[in-house]
Amino acid sequence: MPTPKYKRILIKLSGEALMGDDSYGINRDVIDRIVSEIGDVIQLGVEVAVVVGGGNIFRGVAPASAGMDRATADYMGMLATVMNALALQDAMRRAGLIARVQSALTIQQVAEPYIRGKALRYLEEGKVVIFGAGTGNPFFTTDTAAALRASEMAAQVVLKATKVDGVYTADPKTDPEATRYDRLSFDEAISKNLKVMDATALALCRDQKMPLCVFSIFKHGALKRVVMGEDEGTLVEC
């Protein structure tokens, strides 16, 4: 069996990735395909943690939330991430994977509270740990939560799983001349405002010397190729 480059990873999975081509919500086929990709890397002996966003759920109530207090809207978004985490856990159960959901907000009827030592033990036991509710604080994105949890879990890399196969010089949907970066420094990503992650998350990854790879979760085998250290997506590092 080939040896993976990374033994412990944290996947930042956007809520929008779970929609597929739907306008909002969770696409069953898409989530099953994502779980299959994760299962392939687990078979390599890789320990996997996941931070999931909530944009796909919150998008459905966005019109009603217009003008809402920012902190209240952020707490609603955190609840949306917990919903996604539970859906992801259930999909993993159907696929024969063992997963645990830990929430930064206390919702003990549906998810464990976030406890770092417990999460580390789950990873060592080969279980997938899914972190919901972001950091538990308003005004912080799930990107920042991913950088924070990756540091706490001593992950070797943050993998941002999106619909786009890397970071481009411009929006490839509107600019046919846009080219993909193979590698970037964190300082370049911040100074060029490339929208890789928010500036707080990028700064935290940079300070912790935590590499970040942006790739498309919709390309078959892309996650496995990233874990094996092959040329896939855009690698952002110090």
pLDDT above 80 (res 133)? yes
- Is 69 annotated as contributing to ligand binding? no
Separation of alpha carbons 125 and 13, rounded Å? 22
pLDDT above 60 (res 85)? yes
- Is 168 annotated as contributing to ligand binding? yes
* Predicted pLDDT of residue 177: 83
- Is 77 annotated as contributing to ligand binding? no
- Is 140 annotated as contributing to ligand binding? yes
- Is 139 annotated as contributing to ligand binding? yes
- Is 12 annotated as contributing to ligand binding? yes
Dihedral of the alpha carbons of 70, 73, 75, 80, in degrees to the nearest 10? -150
Sign of the alpha-carbon torsion through 218, 81, 75, 113: negative
Least confident of 10-14, 44-48, 169-173: 169-173
Question: What are the residues whose beta carbons fall under 8 Å from the beta carbon of 68, sequence distance 6 or more?
Answer: none
Query: Which option is the CATH number for 8-237: 3.40.1160.10, 3.20.20.100, 2.40.400.10, 1.10.3720.10?
Result: 3.40.1160.10
Separation of alpha carbons 182 and 230, rounded Å? 11
* Predicted pLDDT of residue 59: 58
What does pLDDT average to over the chain?
91
pLDDT above 60 (res 220)? yes
Backbone angles phi, psi at 155, to 5 degrees: -70, 155
- Is 25 annotated as contributing to ligand binding? no
- Is 14 annotated as contributing to ligand binding? yes
- Is 74 annotated as contributing to ligand binding? yes
Separation of alpha carbons 9 and 155, rounded Å? 5
- Is 171 annotated as contributing to ligand binding? yes
Name the band, by pLDDT with cuts 50, 70 and 90, for residue 60.
low
Name the band, by pLDDT with cuts 50, 70 and 90, for residue 1.
low
Extended strands (E) in the chain: 8-13, 47-52, 99-103, 112-113, 128-132, 157-162, 183-185, 212-216, 234-237
- Is 45 annotated as contributing to ligand binding? no
Separation of alpha carbons 92 and 58, rounded Å? 23
Name the band, by pLDDT with cuts 50, 70 and 90, for residue 17.
confident
Q: What mean pLDDT is predicted for residues 112-130?
A: 98
- Is 72 annotated as contributing to ligand binding? no
* Predicted pLDDT of residue 135: 96
